[in-house]
Amino acid sequence: MALNTIMRIFQPKDRVFYTLFEQVVDTVLEMSDMLKRLIIETERDKRFAILSEIENAEHKNDDTTHRIYTELGRTFITPFDREDIHYLATTLDDVADYIYSSAKRMAFYNIANDDEGIIKLANLIGFAVQELKTAVTGLRNMRDLQAMTTALVKINSIENQADDIYDLSIERLFEMEQDVKMLIKKREVYHAMETATDKCEDAGNAIESIIVKYA
């Protein structure tokens, strides 16, 4: 019997969910750091090497998310409402997917490493995921609700900033970019990145829903 099987049996069911969610948010945070490195990288080979790291992290995260769903199916008593756990798992997985998708497009489309909008959006994704880590980690003890709520408010504000940068970037793109193929490619990258921040906000809403019921 493997050690982790024994641990799983003796670990109270609640803690399994906390541990899995903390693993997810840690992986997503690593992915957002890798994305920041990838977009300022100039060499094509190095970009694809980072993309490969991001892909591995994304696969790892798929497995952890899948375990959350499986536990949810098996466990009768859950620490929070089942729908909230399910929605939080789904939205955090979406954040990972859109980070991976942004990275893939940057690499495959060979997009320049000096696009102001892309750099700003990558930083905003990083900030939002950092706040998500605070909020997700707070679920375990539910002691510092103030810190959790502050994190959620920040995520909302970050998402608004990302919206504005997206709108401005798209407007500038249509004005300045003469190569229509590059316009289409960059628009895809902006869109994937902006959607990543949307999904951070959705994950924040899932946590808020948990806090509201708990308080």
If the CB atoms of residues 3 and 9 are measured against a copy of itself, the closer one turns out to be 9
φ and ψ at 115, to 5 degrees?
A: -80, 115
If the CB atoms of residues 44 and 213 are measured against a copy of itself, the closer one turns out to be 213
104 binds a copy of itself (CB under 8 A): yes
DSSP string, the chain: --HHHHHHHHS-HHHHHHHHHHHHHHHHHHHHHHHHHHHH---HHHHHHHHHHHHHHHHHHHHHHHHHHHHHHH-SS-SS-HHHHHHHHHHHHHHHHHHHHHHHHHHHTT--TT-HHHHHHHHHHHHHHHHHHHHHHHTTT---HHHHHHHHHHHHHHHHHHHHHHHHHHHHHHHH---HHHHHHHHHHHHHHHHHHHHHHHHHHHHHHHHHHH-
With CB under 8 A, what is the number of residues at the site for a copy of itself? 22
If the CB atoms of residues 120 and 186 are measured against a copy of itself, the closer one turns out to be 186
If the CB atoms of residues 29 and 169 are measured against a copy of itself, the closer one turns out to be 169
The 107-126 site mask, x for binding a copy of itself (CB under 8 A), equals -xx-----------------
Q: Are 189 and 180 in contact (CB under 8 A)?
A: no
Angle, in degrees to the nearest 10, between helices 13-40 and 82-108: 20
Only one of the segments 23-31, 120-128, 131-139, 174-182 lies at the binding site for a copy of itself (rule: CB under 8 A); that segment is 174-182
69 binds a copy of itself (CB under 8 A): yes
Smallest distance, a copy of itself to C-beta of residue 174, A: 6
The 83-102 site mask, x for binding a copy of itself (CB under 8 A), equals x-------------------
74 binds a copy of itself (CB under 8 A): yes
Q: Which amino acid is at 61?
A: N
172 binds a copy of itself (CB under 8 A): no
77 binds a copy of itself (CB under 8 A): no
Smallest distance, a copy of itself to C-beta of residue 110, A: 10
Residues that bind a copy of itself (CB under 8 A): 69-70, 73-74, 83, 104, 108-109, 167, 170-171, 174, 180-181, 183-185, 187, 205, 209, 212-213
